[in-house]
């Protein structure tokens, strides 16, 4: 469906839980989680995806919190698969070693796995206790299962050239693309200490590899892509770039049924009851949210917590 500015909105991201097993320093993950009755059920999420399909959407991404914490998530994927959208997930990868195969069998097409560091200690510190070995085992199991894998790295002041090199070498060893994401100001205290302009990531990479611009066909999101001399596809995503708003094709739904038309806006629509009322009502409320999308984001409106809407 076209929004008020002629953009074709065909990609929906749905958070299936606000809970998480990590507490990344920049994510402002909330510890007071929603009571179960306020979280969308699998049937409700199916309503959203069916309504989105009717409105011409092509792709759905399940996210969180940590989506793999949602019990029987593979059953949700199996319920969504017949609708016909391409199904993806963003995950911290911790539980992938046990869930990759069931998720692939259920119809999941791909996973974006967050990997900020290969270095075990830095990884543990940024995630507040996560073990990088478990995430790497998860990535390998996803590849073995046949899932398409991409890596997401939030670029921070902790990253040294050596860390960047290790991440690129890891991507090369698994032949998977990696995207460096600039921090969005979601948590005031840790944000200023961790923030670093994404242009510095490109500069740091220039110290150990040559990169050529990659021409991307179709809509591959807001990333600007390059290929290293070793053939690794590398994306850079800046948090505030008015140019990328022209290509925005997304709508986000939080796990309690609030629709967010734009990540950099305070606009939102409480759609919990409408979603529960069935596909027709859900279609109406999704259409309303699409028409609420602003022409571009506002850097002063930082919107919801990342753990509510899943990035």
Q: Which residues bind ligand SF4 (CB under 6 A)?
A: 20, 22-24, 27, 29, 64-66, 92, 114, 306-307
DSSP 88-135: EEEE--TTHHHHHHHHHHHT--EEEEE-S-SSHHHHHHHHTS--HHHH
Biggest CA pair distance of the chain: 56
Q: Based on CB atoms, which residue is closest to ligand SAM, 53 or 155? A: 155
- Contact 115/167 with Cβ under 8 angstroms? yes
Shortest Å distance, C-beta 153 to ligand SAM: 8
| Sole window of 88-96, 97-105, 166-174, 222-230 interacting with ligand SAM (rule: CB under 6 A) | 88-96
Does 3 bind ligand SAM (CB under 6 A)? Our answer is no
Residues 111-130 touching ligand SAM, rule: CB under 6 A, are 114
Check residue 6 and report its DSSP letter. Answer: S
Cα separation of 224 and 238, whole Å? 9
Does 64 bind ligand SAM (CB under 6 A)? Our answer is yes
Shortest Å distance, C-beta 305 to ligand SAM: 8
3-class DSSP state of 140: helix
Q: Which residue has the tokens 């046949």?
A: 146
Q: Based on CB atoms, which residue is closest to ligand SAM, 187 or 282? A: 187
Question: CB under 5 to 8 A by kind: which of ligand SAM, ligand SF4, none does 254 bind?
Answer: none
Which tokens is 19 given? 């809970």
3-class DSSP state of 35: coil
Question: CB under 5 to 8 A by kind: which of ligand SF4, ligand SAM, none does 23 bind?
Answer: ligand SF4
Residue, CB closest to ligand SAM: 311
Tell which one of 47, 171, 254, 307 touches ligand SAM (CB under 6 A): 307
Residue 183: C-alpha distances to residues 110, 131, 170 (Å): 24, 22, 22
Does 310 bind ligand SAM (CB under 6 A)? Our answer is yes
The total of other beta-carbon atoms located within 10 Å of residue 122's CB is: 18
Task: Report the DSSP beta bridge partners of residue 114.
Answer: 152
Question: CB under 5 to 8 A by kind: which of ligand SAM, ligand SF4, none does 233 bind?
Answer: none
- Contact 178/235 with Cβ under 8 angstroms? yes
Shortest Å distance, C-beta 4 to ligand SAM: 27
Q: Based on CB atoms, which residue is closest to ligand SF4, 282 or 307? A: 307
Check residue 292 and report its DSSP letter. Answer: T
Q: Which residue has the tokens 């629509």?
A: 269
Does 163 bind ligand SAM (CB under 6 A)? Our answer is no
Residue 50: C-alpha distances to residues 94, 145, 264 (Å): 29, 27, 27
Question: CB under 5 to 8 A by kind: which of ligand SF4, ligand SAM, none does 183 bind?
Answer: ligand SAM
Does 186 bind ligand SAM (CB under 6 A)? Our answer is yes
Question: CB under 5 to 8 A by kind: which of ligand SAM, ligand SF4, none does 184 bind?
Answer: ligand SAM
3-class DSSP state of 86: strand
Question: CB under 5 to 8 A by kind: which of ligand SF4, ligand SAM, none does 12 bind?
Answer: none
| Sole window of 86-94, 200-208, 225-233, 248-256 interacting with ligand SAM (rule: CB under 6 A) | 86-94
Nearest to 292, CA basis, from 248, 256, 242, 240: 248
- Which residues form the interface with ligand SAM (CB under 6 A)? 20, 26-27, 63-64, 66, 90-92, 114, 152, 154, 181, 183-184, 186, 306-307, 310-311
């Amino acid at each position: 469906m076209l929004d008020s500015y002629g953009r074709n909105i065909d990609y929906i991201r749905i958070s299936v839980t606000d809970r998480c097993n990590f507490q990344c320093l920049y994510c402002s993950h909330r510890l007071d989680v929603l009571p179960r009755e306020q979280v969308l059920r699998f049937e409700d999420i199916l309503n959203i995806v069916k309504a989105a399909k009717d409105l011409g959407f092509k792709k759905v991404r399940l996210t969180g919190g940590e989506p793999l914490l949602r019990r029987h998530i593979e059953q949700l994927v199996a319920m969504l698969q017949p609708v016909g959208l391409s199904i993806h997930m963003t995950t911290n990868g911790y539980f992938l070693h046990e869930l990759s195969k069931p998720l692939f069998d259920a119809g999941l097409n791909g996973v974006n796995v967050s990997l900020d560091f290969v270095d075990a200690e830095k990884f543990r510190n940024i995630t507040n206790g996560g073990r990088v070995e478990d995430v790497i085992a998860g990535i390998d199991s996803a590849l073995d299962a046949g899932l398409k894998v991409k890596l997401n790295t939030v670029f921070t002041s902790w990253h040294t050239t050596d860390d960047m090199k290790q991440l690129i070498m890891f991507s090369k060893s698994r032949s998977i693309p990696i995207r460096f994401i600039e921090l969005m100001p979601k948590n005031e205290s840790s944000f200023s200490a961790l923030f670093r302009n994404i242009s510095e990531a490109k500069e740091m990479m220039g110290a150990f590899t040559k990169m050529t611009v990659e021409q991307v066909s179709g809509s591959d999101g807001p990333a600007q892509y390059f290929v290293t001399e070793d053939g690794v596809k590398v994306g850079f995503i800046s948090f505030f770039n008015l140019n990328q708003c022209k290509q925005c094709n997304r709508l986000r739904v939080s796990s309690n049924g609030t629709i967010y038309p734009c990540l950099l806006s305070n606009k939102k629509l409480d759609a919990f009851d409408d979603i529960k009322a069935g596909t027709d009502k859900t279609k109406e409320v999704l259409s309303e949210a699409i028409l609420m999308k602003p022409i571009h984001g506002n850097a002063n409106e930082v919107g919801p917590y990342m753990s509510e809407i899943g990035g």
